Structure 1
Amino acid sequence: MTTVFAGIDIGGTKTHILLADAVTHTVTEDVTLPSTDWQTRDLHRAADWLIARLSTIADDAEFVRVAVGAHGCETTAQCALLAGALRTALGGIPVTVVNDAELLVPAAGFEHGIGVVAGTGSIAVGRHRDTGVRLSAGGWGWVLGDEGSGSALVREAARALLTHADTGTDLSADPLTKALLSSYGAADLPALAAAMSWDGGVETWGRHTHAVFNAADEGSALARDVIAQGGRALADLVIRLAERGARTDTVVLAGGVITGRPRLWTAVTDRLADALPGTAPHLLTAPPARGALTLALNGGH
């Protein structure tokens, strides 16, 4: 029987599991699975969900320590309850559970800092500089927030077009109009609004983010403004944590919306430079699951 550490990143769409040999610390398994049916409403069911997936790739392994970054674990209490359920299911071994955004800083090789996820949704997570208490900002979902996320960028781009249409402004030639209509296969703005409401719902909005960035590259001032506002909103999440006492010397950003998107990156970093001089922003290049494995190897810290 092999003895291993496990680092797990459970995201909204996929789950990345890394296993490392307990002696050499070399990675022995690197598996990505869909996060289908993952939820944190019932934490015992969530624990069973994860155990079932671990069993498919490590049924003969003995775990030394498991560290999990879990999408949907928004409070310290939630994380502790899920850790307890997993600990019981795994025979009492040490288990650490954090929000998935907390994986970014250790994944980038830093001990302290703020992690910002800009993907389908958005959230910033850090720790108080003196007490170590977990602090978060954002992550409230597409109805109430998630500014700077893929869902929000598409939402705000469509809102900008519809608001201008209400004033009688003709934006039929604007690259943003063309890009969003084409992405949704809609003939006009009423059809776009209907498609966004009924064709798969908000869960699918993020996949249309490319239309906003493409329109900006093609000269749409409206799209550029939406992206700039989204970037400033992401930076504002960090600023709110700083005001609450979080360490901000390092900020690590990750997610499919900001990776490879220099317009959004520039908007974030310019706002941080103005508001928090001395803060060093980093774009994560390693998988967040590396952060989970680092936590497991370092005793959960």
Structure 2
Amino acid sequence: MQDSTSLVVGVDVGGTKTRLQAVAGEVCVADHVRPSSGWRPHDPAAAADWLTALVHDALPHGTRPSAVAVGGHACETPRQCEQIRAELRERLRIPALVVGDAELLVPAAGLDKGVGLVAGTGSVAVGRLGDGSPLQVGGWGAVLGDEGGSAGLVREGARAVWAAHDRGEAPDELAVRLIAAFGVPEVPALGAALESAADVSAEWGRHAPVVFEAAEAGSGLAREVIAAGGRSLAALVVRLADRGVPVDHVVVAGSTVLAQPALYDAFAVSLAAALPGSRPSPLRVPPVEGAVALARSIL
């Protein structure tokens, strides 16, 4: 049986998968990965039930943690996070903390302040004001926002292709590849294909690689879409800076920006121009390590 005074649990609930780590001192007691299906962050009781079951299933029999911290996908406001935290504490009877999943990046990087920037399927940036209050910008979904995320890049790629079509230009490499990706015969049909998606973020986002492939093949439209995506990501950091968040360190994560050097470079160049004192760095460890660090901090 583990010493409960030193056992802490960190949970990273992502949009697709969830990872839990339980650590006693420097010893990893459990490292559990499962799908995030069933995660309902807008129903605090259901979310707390889901997390409680996860903790019980992942920990060795007879083990009781002394604190738990959760970074939850789609935990969008402090009020929402607090509601889940209160429900979770009531069930586990231990100190608990619930934040948005992007807030795990800064502590995962070993920092106590800075900006966490995520560009995966969507895009969001988070930080904290001088009084400790959390602040989030972006993350408005693929239909209205998420510029620089994979779904947003596909949306903007389609817009660029439509504009070129309206100017009477022949389809370039980006148009050709988007037409093929969505299985339609011509540029005008892209609109109906995008609008018919049952899950806009997922179905648009999975086609993002064609934007980067088109850029490598010489598409000027694709290159401008990527450059604009980088500028949009930098603009998220600028918004946080304008509202008083320390932005000296920007910890970057996300399946799109870290997998596509063209987008990361466009972001870094734009950030340097707008905020020369900000230093971006890719996150090199799993975000769940930030949840573990937060759990330790609330003991």
In structure 2, the residue matched to 1:19 is 22
Give the secondary structure class of the aligned counterpart of 1:109: coil
Q: Which runs of 5+ in 1 are unaligned?
A: none
In structure 2, the residue matched to 1:55 is 56
* Greater displacement, 255-264 / 197-206: 197-206
In structure 1, the residue matched to 2:85 is 83
Once the two structures are aligned, what percentage of the paired residues are identical?
47
**In the aligned structure 2, how far is the partner of 1:201 from the partner of 1:155?**
14
Give the secondary structure class of the aligned counterpart of 1:32: strand
1:199 is displaced (CA, Å) by 4.3
Of 51, 67, 80, which aligns to 2:69?
A: 67
**In the aligned structure 2, how far is the partner of 1:17 from the partner of 1:186?**
41
Give the secondary structure class of the aligned counterpart of 1:83: helix
**In the aligned structure 2, how far is the partner of 1:199 from the partner of 1:98?**
30
Give the secondary structure class of the aligned counterpart of 1:125: strand
Give the secondary structure class of the aligned counterpart of 1:101: helix
In structure 2, the residue matched to 1:131 is 131
Of 165, 183, 195, which aligns to 1:197?
A: 195
* Corresponding position: 1:36 with 2:34: no
**In the aligned structure 2, how far is the partner of 1:72 from the partner of 1:160?**
29
1:101-147 Cα distance to aligned partner (Å, 9 max, x none): 1101111121110001101111110011x322111111111222111
**In the aligned structure 2, how far is the partner of 1:289 from the partner of 1:186?**
40
1:185-220 Cα distance to aligned partner (Å, 9 max, x none): 333224433322224441311111111111111111
- Is contact 2:13-2:71 (8 Å) kept? yes
**In the aligned structure 2, how far is the partner of 1:58 from the partner of 1:49?**
15
In structure 2, the residue matched to 1:285 is 284
* Greater displacement, 134-143 / 189-198: 189-198
Which amino acid counterpart does residue 252 of structure 2 have in structure 1? L
- Is contact 2:30-2:60 (8 Å) kept? no
Which amino acid counterpart does residue 241 of structure 1 have in structure 2? L
In structure 1, the residue matched to 2:165 is 165
1:59 is displaced (CA, Å) by 5.8
> What does 1:188-267 align with in structure 2 at a 5 Å threshold?
188-202=186-200, 203-267=202-266
Which amino acid counterpart does residue 96 of structure 2 have in structure 1? V
Q: Let me know the Cα RMSD of the aligned residues.
A: 1.5
1:25 is displaced (CA, Å) by 2.8
1:18 is displaced (CA, Å) by 0.9
**In the aligned structure 2, how far is the partner of 1:182 from the partner of 1:27?**
46
Give the secondary structure class of the aligned counterpart of 1:28: strand
1:30 is displaced (CA, Å) by 1.5
In structure 2, the residue matched to 1:187 is 185
In structure 2, the residue matched to 1:275 is 274
Q: Normalised by the size of structure 2, how large is the TM-score?
A: 0.94
Q: Normalised by the size of structure 1, how large is the TM-score?
A: 0.93
Which amino acid counterpart does residue 180 of structure 1 have in structure 2? L
Which amino acid counterpart does residue 46 of structure 1 have in structure 2? A
Where in structure 1 do 4 or more consecutive aligned residues deviate above 3 Å?
none
* Greater displacement, 233-242 / 274-283: 274-283
Give the secondary structure class of the aligned counterpart of 1:258: coil
1:175 is displaced (CA, Å) by 1.6
**In the aligned structure 2, how far is the partner of 1:200 from the partner of 1:211?**
20
Q: How many residues align?
A: 294
Q: Which runs of 5+ in 2 are unaligned?
A: none
